Structure 1
Amino acid sequence: MFEVFASAFVTLFVVIDPPGCAPIFAGLSSGASPHRQHRMALRAAGVAFVILVLFALFGESLLGALHIELDAFRIAGGIMLFMIALEMVFERRTRRREERAEKVRAAHEVDHAVEDIAIFPMAMPMLAGPGGIASVMLLMAQAPGMAASLAVLAALTLVMAVTLVMLLMATPLMRIFGSQVESVVTRLLGVVLAALAVQFVIDGVRGSLAG
């Protein structure tokens, strides 16, 4: 079960990308008091965790209701994750997140107050985005038995706990490390995600041909 847990943890950590979300959160919440920043971080991580758990538990039933075979979802999810990996390696994903964050900030500049960004855009779509939802559904669908499913849920819980810690420490971390370290980490994670995505596609094609 440790192999299932480790594989799920790496996949979810890379897709959710806490190192990439932390500077976005720091920028969006700049100007808020530390107490309010902590509250927004808790709400963002909590809401994202609930969304991902719901898709983990009921995603396969949803696929069945839509008459979508699991192998087809594996292939589609792998392709999508590979595209996300390319964006991470070439930093397009970070730029897109920053542009989205800037639009949210600009839309509320007239208020002269820091907008609550816990639900949008932090919880959705930055933490519990399409990549995270697809990943958790794929991991649960591939988990052989109850113990493996619990291992995936445990990995998801740990990833979201790490994400929460990074959001809570986002502002001081950005002061210490700066954007260069975040850029290097994001690119390395992108390479790992690309390999995982290819494996998802291979598993889906193999399953379709065997069926």
Structure 2
Amino acid sequence: MDAEIVKIILAFVVLINPSSAVPLFINMSQGYDIHQKRKAARIACATVFITIAFFALFGEILLQGLGISLGSFRVAGGILLFLIALGMMSDGNNPAKPNEDELTSDEPKDLKPLTGSAVVPLAIPMMIGPGGISTVIIYSAQVTDPMRLGLIVLAGLCISIFCYVSLMAADKISQLLGDTGLNVINRIMGIILAALAIEIIVSGLRNIFPALL
């Protein structure tokens, strides 16, 4: 596994950041039994994997159909990721992901199955949002070898499994880390994501302006 694939996996870990979905999942799943929680977690994580796989396989085709160059998309995606990183490092406000308060409803849970919220808002956009989708398209569009494209999809599968484990351990993670611990993790992830965003922006600028090489 070369450095580029490691970078892709790291980007997925930082962007999806299951710890950010832990408080929402705990709030959503209160009053439900373990079987319903597992089913909701499986649906959410399957949605994350399907989303990553779809945009990895067809993202470049979408760009070509819209007439958008890869360089331009890299710059736009990098800027979006940098804004997300700034939010993670400051007050936690993420321009591409809603916060828990925005997604919490006062509607009684018995009127709404838990699985109904597993896809939206838990999986999309809380776990995989515009930033994650942009990253998948950016990395997959620069891959020509089917084997390397398969590695991107495999990375998505690994992250999805990691998300499932995190959601099922949500109560323990929350008790162990607390709000302070989760905030610290989000800020560390934000710093890493900011560095990745700059790399993507620079790569896009070099694509648009070859003289920068």
TM-score by length of 1: 0.91
Assess if the C-alpha contact under 8 Å between 1:5 and 1:154 holds in 2. no
Q: Give the CA deviation at 1:31.
A: 1.5
Q: Which one is further off, 194-203 or 14-23?
A: 14-23
Q: Give the CA deviation at 1:35.
A: 1.3
Structure 2 counterpart of 1:109 = 108
| C-alpha distance 110-206 of structure 1, shift in aligned 2 (>3 A) | closer
Mapped to 2, the partners of 1:36 and 1:131 lie a distance apart of 29
Structure 2 counterpart of 1:209 = 209
Mapped to 1, the partners of 2:186 and 2:210 lie a distance apart of 36
Q: Give the CA deviation at 1:155.
A: 1.6
Task: Tell me, yes or no, if structure 1 residue 18 matches structure 2 residue 18.
Answer: yes
Mapped to 1, the partners of 2:55 and 2:37 lie a distance apart of 27
| CA RMSD in angstroms, aligned pairs only | 2.0
Assess if the C-alpha contact under 8 Å between 1:85 and 1:194 holds in 2. yes
Which of the pair is proportionally richer in helix? 1
Q: Which one is further off, 13-22 or 170-179?
A: 170-179
Structure 1 counterpart of 2:93 = 92
For residue 209 of structure 2, give the secondary structure of its aligned residue in structure 1: helix
Structure 2 counterpart of 1:37 = 37
Assess if the C-alpha contact under 8 Å between 2:40 and 2:114 holds in 1. no
- Runs of at least 5 residues in structure 2 that lack an aligned partner in the other structure: none
| C-alpha distance 140-110 of structure 1, shift in aligned 2 (>3 A) | closer
Mapped to 2, the partners of 1:164 and 1:52 lie a distance apart of 15
Q: Give the CA deviation at 1:192.
A: 0.4
| C-alpha distance 35-111 of structure 1, shift in aligned 2 (>3 A) | closer
Structure 1 counterpart of 2:141 = 141
Q: How many residues align?
A: 208
Assess if the C-alpha contact under 8 Å between 1:6 and 1:155 holds in 2. no
For residue 32 of structure 2, give the secondary structure of its aligned residue in structure 1: coil
Taking only the aligned residue pairs, the percentage that are identical comes to 31
Assess if the C-alpha contact under 8 Å between 1:32 and 1:114 holds in 2. no
Task: Tell me, yes or no, if structure 1 residue 50 matches structure 2 residue 50.
Answer: yes
The C-alpha deviation readout for 1:111-137, integer Å capped at 9, x for no partner, is: 566643211111211122111110111
- Runs of at least 5 residues in structure 1 that lack an aligned partner in the other structure: none
Assess if the C-alpha contact under 8 Å between 2:82 and 2:193 holds in 1. yes
Mapped to 2, the partners of 1:68 and 1:113 lie a distance apart of 40
Structure 2 counterpart of 1:71 = 71
What residue identity is the alignment partner of 2:153?
Answer: L
Assess if the C-alpha contact under 8 Å between 2:23 and 2:100 holds in 1. no
Assess if the C-alpha contact under 8 Å between 1:71 and 1:208 holds in 2. yes
Assess if the C-alpha contact under 8 Å between 1:49 and 1:128 holds in 2. no
Mapped to 2, the partners of 1:111 and 1:32 lie a distance apart of 9
Mapped to 1, the partners of 2:133 and 2:154 lie a distance apart of 16
Mapped to 2, the partners of 1:197 and 1:189 lie a distance apart of 12
Structure 2 counterpart of 1:171 = 171
